Structure 1
């Protein structure tokens, strides 16, 4: 998975969904091992090195892939205006254990902290399941979009001021479309002069 793909959606849940993607040349599976899941969670600031759990090899990646597919199915259902199968995510939510704590920061401000259990892979992934449930219940699905490129499967949350974002990123798909349109115009201009 290209580095910019890890955070280009402007939403952690969609970034999690984008860990399995395809483009015009291949399918990409970022979660190939437990270590990849841990690296993704660290890169997205969901865990620190102090909170790294130890599970039986393969159980975390399997749980992450299952959660991702549950999110994918429910997101597609919600986006299409269909009845959402809440059981898919509820299975993960029921296994999650967390508590809330108020923490005083060095500047005197108080911050609410969620502390998630990590006895099982499902507990460890509960914060992603919670965020997905929040998105399904309260997200603005007019702003949750798939990249307009026919060959890209990445999703994003359009947080631009005008809400006109069309591409997963301009560097990836937007630029390709612009170059293709430019070439088509040039070809048309050359054809008209002959």
Structure 2
């Protein structure tokens, strides 16, 4: 759907997870892309939709209270540990066998530390909500692509002014 480059670092995982569902068509690739089934698939779908709500919040929308508590509960279960590299730089990393939620939690922690977490947004178009990384200088991008979603929104605004 998008012509944008993927998000940097671990945010690429979060972006890829959110984008396993095409809101407009209902095409869901979560099981195929992450090799999940059963309870793990259900938890990953809940994580995906809670992350989509957080990305929408980064774009100026309100997070439904249920989604926020769901995201916090899912991330609280992620086993993370502090690791140091050879230069002494500390980072959070999944502890033990890294599951999807722990990898996402570590990616979010890395992005928060880098100051990039709030630049992962969801498209403002109600029929899209595709996750994208906002590389605009002011960080105020609203649509995944200007050529599709942005153009449609601007055309709707133009038409409503002309007819209203």
The TM-score, its normalising length taken from structure 1, stands at 0.51
Q: How large is the RMSD of aligned CA atoms in angstroms? A: 4.2
Structure of larger gyration radius: 1
Q: 1:42-87 CA distances to partner (integer Å, 9 max, x unpaired)?
A: xxxxxxxxxxxxx8x5343222112112223455567434674543
Given that 1:9 and 1:168 are in contact with CA atoms closer than 8 Å, whether structure 2 keeps it comes out as: no
Given that 1:22 and 1:153 are in contact with CA atoms closer than 8 Å, whether structure 2 keeps it comes out as: yes
Q: 1:70-109 CA distances to partner (integer Å, 9 max, x unpaired)?
A: 22345556743467454312322332212122122xxxx4
Given that 1:77 and 1:83 are in contact with CA atoms closer than 8 Å, whether structure 2 keeps it comes out as: no
Structure 2: distance between partners of 1:20 and 1:112 = 34
Structure 2: distance between partners of 1:150 and 1:91 = 26
Q: How far 1:149 moved relative to its partner?
A: 5.1
Q: 1:92 aligns with which of 74, 82, 97?
A: 74
Q: 1:67 aligns with which of 39, 43, 47?
A: 47
Tell me the residue number matched to 1:184. Answer: none
Cα 1:161–1:94 change in 2 (3 A) is closer
Tell me the residue number matched to 1:28. Answer: 27
Given that 1:147 and 1:153 are in contact with CA atoms closer than 8 Å, whether structure 2 keeps it comes out as: yes
Cα 1:69–1:152 change in 2 (3 A) is closer
Structure 2: distance between partners of 1:59 and 1:7 = 32
Structure 1: distance between partners of 2:126 and 2:64 = 26
How many aligned positions are there? 145
Structure 2: distance between partners of 1:30 and 1:6 = 20
Cα 1:16–1:119 change in 2 (3 A) is same
Cα 1:17–1:5 change in 2 (3 A) is farther
The TM-score, its normalising length taken from structure 2, stands at 0.57
Tell me the residue number matched to 1:37. Answer: 34
Structure 2: distance between partners of 1:130 and 1:93 = 9
| Runs of at least 5 residues in structure 1 that lack an aligned partner in the other structure | 39-54, 182-194
